[in-house]
């Protein structure tokens, strides 16, 4: 038995999914789009799985998420639709329900957040709703795990018992139930038109196994995807055109508005009958009060920056540093222990190095990201669950609109200044595929904290103390500026066309539940670890191999990055390409290559290749042989802009669900870095810098 | 007049939704249908987007999109 879980964004869908499955889920994806399809067995129920579909408001042909959802429902024919609604905004949530009803599939409604509804003094008569709609309506509170058992019972009932027995008039596509009754969602002139079109195209729809009523309504709404699929004859098209014309004349409105109107009329009537509101909505009143401060004209932005500042300080400073150091010490201790073990076992030197320097160090460097990711997503899920993130989107929207994004992209980009990996992972909460893809492309231009190590060493070596801060700030600003320009270009090229209009709901403020926050962290950590032990691990091994062997595949020793290594050979071979950028030295180029494993590696590689003992020596003398202050700046500029580390690449691949896309993104980014550094360097040289 | 022209605290009745394709459909889908009453709650700190209440819920829209919606002041 397969249940499709559908609902608006922000209605508690994921929470319900986690309650149903205990989060034992399998994540698949929909072909061609970056939308996740999570599927998991329902806890304690044999043969019952639930599929979590994207959060949507409607079933239009305009957004990838909506098309994916309706295609899934029509093509895969789940046994039951589980439509979850935020009962605190019932009217708007019921709109999707009326569309799902067109599909004529077994369905059940879960009214979520009923605890809040009760708290607000509102009474929803679910029995009355059941009577009027013709399917079960179960009040639940997903975050408190209330009503879930009853929900599962009613799902079984819905599937076991054909809809017909719930007074559904199946052979009449024009009615859902109660022919001519007050609560038929399809009424008046629209009803007549849908009815007529349904009869007209019945065979076409049956041929492609599309619910007849759905096909008829979509035809009426001028849905081109459905029209093309139905393959209507010219005569049929003419008749439909005629019917539409008649309808539009009769109602004095156009076809799309007519259908929407009819739906909302039905919803209003239904809510009038089943919902009794007493007193004021306490949560809304509280939200209004909090919003007076958090979205205040003057204070909103300082408050937001303050909150993010504290999060950064805790994540990358106090707690983060403590955890990362502890973690690193543990890993080092473990590597030391294995090292001793291998030495006493007297295995060959290269195998020893493969295990310690290649595998374990590789895993170790990746694991050092873990505390950052866990901490950041701890804070982020609190911001998201509490409802604050929607306010951030509201406040920051105007800034990002010019590059074709919405306020929702602001937080991922900001996190990019800390670490690109969680920043890319945070794009998952963006609502459209377009925004997700575009944000992952722009995040790497926000200079991450690992690059700070490189800036630190170079500015100390080449610039007087007074100029150092200026150089660093200029790098950050250039990164952002290039990101903005890139965004503008993308908006005009790859992501051309109208973005889906920005609509945002400001949900009531809620106390985040510990369970939901922990699950979210676990989700992200697991996601990251899986990648750490596959793609990132492999990449570390490749880099180790290139560092430790020469061209004839002779082992040249564990002290990596030596002159004769394959990596150095590649560096020497590629170096001339970088001469016009001001740093044709093979050691600089080799350092950039090892920097792909993690950016701070650039410094350690240079230390080894220049044969100096420490970073301090690098600063005091080593680097001066390779760069002038100006070419050092060019090197930093390239470091700032070129492709991100392997961990970020893996995250981009994961979030865009396309290796090709990720690879192309990295190539383009490196191309941009090359071009900009080239121009800066050549112009600079022209002026005698 | 259009929806972006009403003042904070004012309520207006929707007359017509202009535009086409995805944009128009999305506005309609969110419940901005003729005869619906819409109240402007507040502006974002940078003056855009705008937050409205309609049909018992809060909805945030950009000014440019609001310009598609013809309304009359109540």
The whole domain housing A607 covers 528-541+577-686
Q: How far, in Å, are A100, A297, A438, A488 from residue A495 at the CA level?
A: 30, 32, 8, 10
Tell whether A193 and A157 lie within a shared domain. no
Q: Which chain A residues are within 8 Å of B61, Cβ to Cβ? A: 501-503
Query: In a mutagenesis test of the B interface, which of A85, A92, A408 is the best target, namely the one with the most B β-carbons within 10 Å?
Result: A92
pTM: 0.83
pLDDT digits (tens, 9 = 90+) for A558-600: 555 567 788 888 889 999 999 999 998 988 998 999 888 888 8
Instruction: Decide the pairing of beta strands A49-52 and A2-7.
Output: parallel
Nearest CB partner across the interface for B56, out of A62, A89, A256: A89
pLDDT digits (tens, 9 = 90+) for A303-323: 999 998 898 888 877 787 788
Nearest CB partner across the interface for B25, out of A62, A91, A398: A62
Tell whether A6 and A143 lie within a shared domain. yes
The number of distinct structural domains making up chain A is 3
Report the distance separating Cα A287 and Cα A292, nearest Å. Answer: 8
Q: Which chain B residues are within 8 Å of A296, Cβ to Cβ? A: 45
- How close does chain A come to B6, measured CA to CA in Å? 18
Question: How many angstroms from the chain centroid is the CA of residue A397?
Answer: 18
Retrieve residue A332's tokens.
């080092």
Kindly report the CATH number assigned to the domain that includes residue A230.
1.10.287.1770
Residue A516 lies inside a defined structural domain of this protein? no
Report the distance separating Cα A409 and Cα B69, nearest Å. Answer: 26
pLDDT at A176: 41
Q: B24 to chain A: nearest residue by CA?
A: A501
pLDDT at B70 over 70: yes
Residue A60 and residue B34: Cβ atoms within 8 Å? no
Tell whether A21 and A144 lie within a shared domain. yes
Tell whether A160 and A220 lie within a shared domain. no
Residue A394 and residue B60: Cβ atoms within 8 Å? yes
Q: Which residues of chain A have pLDDT under 70?
A: 23-34, 161-187, 497-500, 558-562, 613
- How close does chain B come to A291, measured CA to CA in Å? 10
pLDDT at A657: 83
Residue A58 and residue B23: Cβ atoms within 8 Å? no
Residue B55 and residue A394: Cβ atoms within 8 Å? no
Strand partners, A276: A123
Residue A506 and residue B58: Cβ atoms within 8 Å? yes
pLDDT at A498: 62
Find the angle CA(A538)-CA(A544)-CA(A547) to the nearest 5 degrees. Answer: 145
pLDDT at A164: 46
Of A106, A136, A166, the residue that ends a domain is: A166
Nearest CB partner across the interface for B31, out of A264, A291, A502: A264
Helices in A493-628 by DSSP H: which ranges? Answer: 514-531, 537-548, 566-578, 586-594, 601-609, 615-620
Task: Classify domain B3-68 at the CATH class level.
Answer: mainly beta
Residue A234 lies inside a defined structural domain of this protein? yes
- How close does chain B come to A298, measured CA to CA in Å? 7
Retrieve residue A218's tokens.
């979509």
Is A385:A507 a contact under the CB 8 Å cutoff? no
Q: Which chain A residues are within 8 Å of B17, Cβ to Cβ? A: 257
Tell whether A81 and A213 lie within a shared domain. no
pLDDT at A558: 57
Nearest CB partner across the interface for B23, out of A261, A395, A501: A501
Residue A55 lies inside a defined structural domain of this protein? yes
Residue A503 and residue B61: Cβ atoms within 8 Å? yes
Nearest CB partner across the interface for B26, out of A261, A401, A500: A500
Tell whether A44 and A129 lie within a shared domain. yes
SS3 per residue for A186-255: CCHHHHHHHHHHHHHHHHHHHHCCCCHHHHHHHHHCCCHHHHHHHCCCHHHHHHHHHHHHHHHHHHCCCH
- Is this prediction's ipTM beyond 0.90? yes
Residue B22 and residue A261: Cβ atoms within 8 Å? no
Q: Which chain B residues are within 8 Å of A498, Cβ to Cβ? A: 21-23
Q: How far, in Å, are A577, A628, A644, A674, A685 from residue A580 at the CA level?
A: 7, 14, 22, 10, 10
Residue B25 and residue A502: Cβ atoms within 8 Å? no
Strands of B69-73's sheet in order across: A503-504, B57-61, B50-54, B37-43, B11-17, B69-73
Retrieve residue A358's tokens.
């290649």
Nearest CB partner across the interface for B34, out of A57, A92, A257: A257
Q: Which of residues 3-42 of B touch A (CB under 8 A)?
A: 17, 21-31, 33-34, 36, 42
Instruction: Report chain A residues touching chain B, CB-CB < 8 A.
Output: 57-58, 60, 62-63, 89-92, 95, 253, 256-257, 260-261, 264, 291, 295-298, 300-301, 394-395, 397-399, 401, 498, 500-506
- How close does chain A come to B67, measured CA to CA in Å? 12
Tell whether A211 and A106 lie within a shared domain. no
Retrieve residue A579's tokens.
């001469």
In 3-state terms, what secondary structure has residue A88? Answer: helix
Strand partners, B72: B13
Tell whether A115 and A214 lie within a shared domain. no
pLDDT at A187: 60
Q: Which chain B residues are within 8 Å of A89, Cβ to Cβ? A: 56-57
Tell whether A87 and A223 lie within a shared domain. no
Q: How many CB pairs below 8 A link A and B?
A: 109
pLDDT at B9: 93
Listed by start position, the domains of chain B span 3-68
Q: In whole angstroms, how large is the CA radius of gyration of chain A? A: 30
Residue B25 and residue A397: Cβ atoms within 8 Å? no
Choose among A678, A611, A669, A653: nearest CA to A479.
A669
Residue A501 and residue B26: Cβ atoms within 8 Å? yes
Nearest CB partner across the interface for A295, out of B29, B34, B44: B44
Of A277, A304, A321, the residue that ends a domain is: A277
Residue B45 and residue A296: Cβ atoms within 8 Å? yes
Nearest CB partner across the interface for B24, out of A89, A256, A300: A256
Residue A221 lies inside a defined structural domain of this protein? yes
- How close does chain A come to B46, measured CA to CA in Å? 7
Query: In a mutagenesis test of the A interface, which of B60, B64, B67, B70 is the best target, namely the one with the most A β-carbons within 10 Å?
Result: B60
N- to C-terminal Cα separation, chain A: 71
Report the distance separating Cα A294 and Cα A273, nearest Å. Answer: 37
Residue A534 lies inside a defined structural domain of this protein? yes
Kindly report the CATH number assigned to the domain that includes residue A119.
3.40.50.300
In 3-state terms, what secondary structure has residue A179? Answer: coil
Residue A148 lies inside a defined structural domain of this protein? yes
Tell whether A144 and A225 lie within a shared domain. no
Give me the helix-helix angle, A465-492 and A629-641, nearest 10°: 40
Tell whether A69 and A155 lie within a shared domain. yes
Residue A261 and residue B26: Cβ atoms within 8 Å? no
Q: Which chain A residues are within 8 Å of B44, Cβ to Cβ? A: 295, 300, 394-395, 397-398
């Amino acid at each position: 038995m397969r249940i499709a879980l559908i609902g608006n964004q922000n209605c508690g869908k994921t929470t319900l999914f986690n309650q149903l499955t205990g989060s034992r889920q399998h994540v698949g994806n929909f072909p061609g789009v970056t939308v996740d399809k999570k599927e998991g067995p329902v806890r304690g129920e044999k043969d019952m799985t639930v599929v979590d579909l994207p959060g949507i408001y409607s079933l239009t042909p305009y957004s990838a998420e909506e098309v994916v959802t309706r295609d899934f429902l029509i093509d895969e024919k789940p046994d039951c639709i589980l439509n979850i609604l935020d009962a605190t905004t019932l009217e708007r949530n019921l709109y999707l329900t009326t569309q799902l009803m067109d599909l004529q599939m077994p369905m059940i409604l879960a009214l979520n957040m009923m605890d809040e509804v009760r708290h607000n003094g509102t009474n929803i008569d679910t029995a009355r709703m059941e009577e009027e709609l013709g399917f079960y309506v179960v009040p639940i509170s997903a975050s408190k795990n209330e009503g879930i058992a009853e929900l599962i019972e009613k799902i079984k009932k819905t599937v076991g018992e054909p809809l017909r027995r719930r007074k559904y008039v199946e052979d009449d596509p024009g009615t859902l139930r109660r022919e001519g009754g007050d609560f038929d969602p399809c009424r008046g002139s629209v009803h007549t038109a849908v009815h007529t079109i349904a009869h007209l195209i019945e065979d076409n729809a049956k041929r492609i196994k599309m619910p007849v009523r759905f096909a008829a309504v979509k035809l009426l709404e001028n849905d081109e995807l459905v029209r093309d699929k139905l393959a209507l004859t010219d005569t049929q098209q003419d008749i439909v055109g005629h019917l539409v014309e008649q309808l539009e004349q009769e109602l004095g409105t156009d076809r799309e508005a007519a259908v929407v109107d009819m739906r909302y009329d039905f919803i209003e009537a239904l809510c009038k009958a089943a919902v009794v509101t007493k007193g004021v909505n306490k949560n809304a009143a509280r939200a209004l009060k909090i919003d007076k401060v958090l979205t205040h004209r003057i204070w909103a932005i300082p408050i937001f920056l303050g909150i993010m500042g504290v999060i950064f300080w805790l994540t990358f400073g106090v707690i983060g540093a403590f955890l990362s150091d502890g973690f690193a010490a543990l890993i080092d201790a473990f590597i030391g222990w294995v090292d001793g073990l291998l030495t006493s076992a007297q295995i060959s030197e290269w195998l020893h190095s493969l295990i310690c320097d290649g595998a374990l160090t590789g895993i170790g460097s990746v694991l050092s990201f873990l505390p950052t990711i866990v901490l950041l997503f701890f804070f982020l899920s609190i911001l998201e669950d509490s409802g604050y993130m929607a306010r951030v989107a509201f406040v920051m929207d105007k800034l990002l609109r010019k590059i074709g994004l919405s306020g929702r992209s602001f937080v991922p980009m900001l996190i990019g200044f800390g670490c690109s990996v969680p920043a890319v992972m945070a794009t998952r909460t963006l609502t459209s595929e377009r925004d997700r893809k575009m944000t992952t492309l722009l995040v790497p231009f926000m200079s991450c904290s690992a690059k700070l190590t490189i800036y630190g060493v170079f500015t100390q070596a080449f610039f007087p103390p007074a100029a150092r801060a200026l150089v660093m700030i200029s790098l950050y600003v250039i990164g952002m500026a290039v990101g903005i320009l890139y965004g503008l270009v993308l908006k005009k090229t790859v992501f051309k066309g109208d973005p889906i209009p920005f609509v945002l709901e400001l949900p009531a403020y809620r106390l985040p539940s510990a369970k939901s926050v922990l699950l979210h962290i676990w989700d992200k950590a697991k996601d990251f670890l899986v990648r750490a032990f596959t793609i990132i691990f492999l990449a570390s091994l490749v880099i180790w191999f290139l560092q430790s062997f020469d061209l004839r595949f002779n082992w040249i020793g564990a002290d990596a990055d030596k002159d004769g290594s394959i990596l150095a050979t590649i560096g020497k071979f590629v170096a001339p390409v970088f001469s016009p950028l001001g740093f044709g030295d093979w050691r600089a180029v080799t350092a950039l290559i090892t920097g792909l494993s993690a950016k701070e590696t650039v410094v350690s590689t240079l230390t080894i290749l220049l044969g100096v003992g420490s970073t301090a020596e690098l600063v005091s003398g080593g680097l001066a042989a390779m760069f002038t202050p100006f070419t050092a700046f060019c090197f930093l500029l390239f470091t700032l802009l070129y492709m991100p580390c392997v961990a970020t690449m893996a995250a981009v691949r994961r979030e865009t669900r396309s290796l090709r896309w990720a690879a192309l993104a990295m190539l383009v980014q490196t191309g941009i870095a090359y071009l900009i550094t080239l121009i800066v360097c050549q112009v600079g040289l022209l002026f005698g810098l | 007049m259009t929806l972006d022209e009403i003042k904070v605290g004012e309520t207006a009745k929707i007359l017509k939704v202009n535009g086409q394709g995805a944009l128009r459909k999305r506005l309609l889908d969110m419940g901005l249908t003729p005869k619906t009453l819409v109240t402007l709650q507040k502006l974002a700190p940078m003056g855009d987007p705008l937050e409205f209440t309609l049909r018992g819920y809060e909805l945030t829209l950009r000014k440019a999109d609001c310009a598609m919606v013809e309304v009359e002041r109540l």
